[in-house]
Structure 1
Amino acid sequence: MVRESFRTLAYLDLVFQKYKVYEVPVWSLLNGYEELYGNMKRSAAWLNEFEKPILIDTLEEMHSHYKTQISNYKEYFPKNKPDEALESTILLLRMIFKNPVFREIHPDLPKSFRIEIKDTMVHASNSRFKKLLALSSPLDENDLEEVIGGLARLSDLLVDDIIADYKYFKKPFEIELDIVKLNADVFFNRFIGVLAAQFVSLLETADVPKIATNMFALLKALRAFDSKYCRIYPGIKKSPAYKNFTIEDWIAPFILKWLDYLSTLTVEWVTSAVKADNFEATVTEGGLGQTGEDSMSHSSSISDLFTA
């Protein structure tokens, strides 16, 4: 005769395998686990020594799968769809975390699930930033114009990602953590690091005229990023990293180099104009020979322009 506990374990594993290939919704899995949890809570001897390893294998597989889903929630639950699926997945992960059998084989787990999921999501947020950075980075890192354009694209992607958290994912995570705050803080700190490193390289280039247009476009993009980011998550202004977000200070050395470049152009322009100057004065028709206010003389001479 098959024990009830074994049937429950077998059913839970079957539903989980079907859930992984999208044949059953998460609620079926939640119901199956709640039955297991209720039986284990009523009697510590409900599982025998042969069934416990089966449960351990199932819990390990479920924990790994749910952790992957929650870490990549924007891919698995786009725009938080299906409804309440992400909340149920977080709930299942919490139930496994609190399962005495699971905790027995993982004695190093923190006491609080909030600590565990926060650590998980911080790691996930860093991975998400790396993905967005890769999506915005140019294929040729020596192409400075594309590198600068990539920084502007990254600023847009980060804002879009935080907006998505605010619109769709704030509620599913709210019991355990503030996902908007967590991602906004991680993204901002990482973005500051990328910008600081890239500006060091960009300021070393001597090809100022080639990158000038892109640099000023980046300045505009970073100002827009600052404005939007602070509207979505005003708390970022209290972050120590925000004090280092000094856009004008970063770009000021480049502007000085750009002004120096423009001054050399002015000298070249005046020098070339003087060399080409034929020093000829022109007068209006009928003005030849007239003097004083009646004279309508003009000049095409560059020298006259600077002595006028």
Structure 2
Amino acid sequence: MRFLNFPFLVYENILKHLEPRELLLFSFCSLKTRTLVSRMRHTPTYTIFILDKPEKMSYGFVEKPEKEQILLSWTWKKIAMESENLDNRTRLKLKDVLLDCRVTFHRKLNIPTLVCRCEDVSSRKRFATALHSHMCEVFHVKPEMQFKLSLDYMDELPYTNTVRDVTFLQSSVNSTVADEFFEKFHVTRALFSKRCVPDRLLKHSCKFLEIKNLFVDWSPWLDITLLLKVKCENIMFSSSTSVANDAHLIMDNFNLEAWDPEVDKIEYDEPVHDYCEELLYFLYDIKKYMLRSGILRRQSDGSRALDKTGSYCSS
């Protein structure tokens, strides 16, 4: 590779002008290119695996939810490999994993995509695991993974037992599969369930209430009785059930007090701001949106919840 014959200052300046996805591909070339990229100054951040489409996985940087920067994708669609494309196939080696694939690029976004054999599930899982390890060593990303996925494709996830954040997308499976996910992957920080997620995914789950931070965009099956069961640090959810419908439970388990803006200053740090920025806008602007009904204080441990028309927030 002639590039490596350049003086140090020359290729250092070239590398500074490459995009992260270009640096990633460059780091795959050899041990020396890997070392060159690892010596660069990288801002520590988190990475995410995205499984939002059939037979496709993406991997990228994430600073805030819904703002991912995709570095690499791979697909295993059942595409008949024409004879002229056979010469373009390569065996990509990453650590001790060999992935038989063909490299293509997204025309508009210029995202590298690996076209893999559809039957080679084990190699894809090991490649995903090796890719994250490579990113930790070369780009100095945080070791805890994040997932955004439909649980229909859970079998494609890399080998790990801890996950920082998980975002659930629309799935056809039920709560049993959700509990299998929580048993296999220990979620250390937050679960975010998007509005498109059907009720059956979490409605009868026994495990999701144990997560430290729980954010459910919208589910009519969630109501005030959930506050009797949660053990998490923060929970935010929208519900169509009003406090009046559960008056007897509130009287037995909560003290209901009027909202006092001088005393009840609900302040949230990460990850609440990360996932609930839009909801918090309505909660804080009390002069413009008079939606607060009061404060619920749980008698058992003093945990408090803000009751807002159509939504509940607990800390």
User: Normalized against structure 2, the TM-score is what?
Assistant: 0.28
Structure with max Cα Rg: 1
Hey, which of these two has a bigger chunk of helix by percent? 1
Structure 1-normalised TM-score?
A: 0.29
Compare the two structures and name the one with the higher strand fraction: 2
